[in-house]
Amino acid sequence: MLRNSLKSLTKRNSLRLLNNNNYKRDLHISLVSLNAKIYGMPAMSPTMESGAIVDWKINEGDHFNSGDSLLDIETDKATISVDAIDDGILAKIILPNGTKDIKIGTPIAYLAEDGDDIKNLVYPPLPDSTDVSSKPTEQSKEQPKEQPKEQPKQSIKSSPSTSSTSSSVSKPANSNQQFFPSVERLLDENHISRNDAIEKIPATGPNGRILRGDVLAYLGKISPSENNAIAEYLEKSSHLDLSNIKLFKPDSSDSKTNSNIQENSSSKPKVKEPVTINENYPINLEINYPDLSKFKSIISNALSISEQQAYSFNINPESDLNDPLFDDIIAPSRNITKFSFSYTLNSEGNEINSLDLKLTLNDSCFDAKDRAVIFINNFKTNLENALKVYQ
């Protein structure tokens, strides 16, 4: 008897708990199904500010899965397909196909969660056109978190000493800069977008660059006056101070020493400039860029052959009076460089008009000029033969 009463009591309690759980679950689902979400214009690149809707890939009321294409967006650079991140339903389209100049974050559609009843959805009111921000909606959610961090910054600005220091050191941030890794990490940890950082954070780095201290001062973690003092010191140290330089007035004794130095310097022999020979060779040949390296190798081969011919040519006429042993003693070494050469190609587009050849003679060699002339004459012949083979 007692055992049966306990069993019936246990069944009643379990049924009561199940009914309570079902009631709570139904209430939770009904609350979620009544709220639609605003879908803002996505940012497809860091530099994107606005875009246009080319085509909605799904219709109102259609279900979509994660990875499905929702719509095509046209930016100033390309047309990009926007894919869904989660499963859901396209409840309502706000901006139709062909709408242009849509700023980032502007509401373009209402989305519902998978399984929601579209007929009973409650659509949140849209912001006014004047209040629509050009930044993503996720950033607008994070603005209340950043507002209390800006309060110490505003209170510091009210002091006259700090305002004068910041105005002389800080400057507007450069929008084309690439953030340092330390700065990018700070911005990411505090949910500050790139656009907000460039618009709101004063830069004390060179050329408008935002430094780590600028971000810490903006967040209120360090005093802006200390950050500006460091930046001002670095800026002054980077320039050479010439304000205390005075002109030197020499004494009479110094003037005598200076005159002696000038006399000694004028008595020194001047360095003789080397003798150069310049020649121009017409080419008039059209060469594409992939064949340029091959053409240069042909020219280098012609120069090498001409150099060998100039060095091996016997300048002295044959005579019984010539003594090879005597020539080897008084003449410079055969391995010494008689002359050096360089060339320049003159071109217009793909057409090479001519070649400028410059030879610099070695003054210590008595036969440098003669061998340079032989080199010039032989190179003209070798170049013509090489161009015929190339064509």
For residue 23, what pLDDT band results from cuts at 50, 70 and 90?
Answer: very low
Q: What are the pLDDT digits (tens) for 345-362?
A: 888 888 888 899 999 998
Does residue 258 lie within any of the structural domains? no
For residue 9, what pLDDT band results from cuts at 50, 70 and 90?
Answer: very low
207 lies in the same domain as 115: no
348 lies in the same domain as 386: yes
The CATH number that applies at residue 341 is: 3.30.300
182 lies in the same domain as 126: no
308 lies in the same domain as 232: no
- The CA distance from 209 to 179, in Å, is 8
- HSE-CB at 207 with a 13 A cutoff on CA atoms is 5
95 lies in the same domain as 156: no
Does residue 44 lie within any of the structural domains? yes
Average of per-residue pLDDT across 356-383 = 89
Residue at a domain's end among 117, 134, 151: 134
The DSSP code for 129 is T
Does residue 245 lie within any of the structural domains? no
pTM: 0.32
Does residue 23 lie within any of the structural domains? no
292 lies in the same domain as 381: yes
Bridge partners of 282, per DSSP, are 354
Q: What is the pLDDT of residue 236?
A: 73
Count: domains in the chain = 3
Q: What is the pLDDT of residue 13?
A: 52
The CATH number that applies at residue 120 is: 2.40.50.100
233 lies in the same domain as 337: no
284 lies in the same domain as 377: yes
Residue at a domain's end among 237, 265, 297: 237
337 lies in the same domain as 365: yes
Residue/partner pairs of 284-289 with CB below 8 Å, 24 or more apart = 284/351, 284/352, 284/353, 284/354, 285/351, 285/352, 285/387, 285/390, 285/391, 286/350, 286/351, 286/352, 287/350, 287/351, 287/352, 288/350, 289/350
- The CA distance from 8 to 123, in Å, is 48
Q: What are the pLDDT digits (tens) for 176-230?
A: 888 888 898 889 989 999 999 998 898 888 888 898 888 998 888 888 888 888 8
Residue at a domain's end among 189, 221, 237: 237
157 lies in the same domain as 69: no
Does residue 41 lie within any of the structural domains? yes
Does residue 335 lie within any of the structural domains? yes
Q: Is the pLDDT of residue 28 over 70?
A: no
Containing structural domain, residue 199: 140-237
Both structure tokens of 251: 């004494």
Does residue 299 lie within any of the structural domains? yes
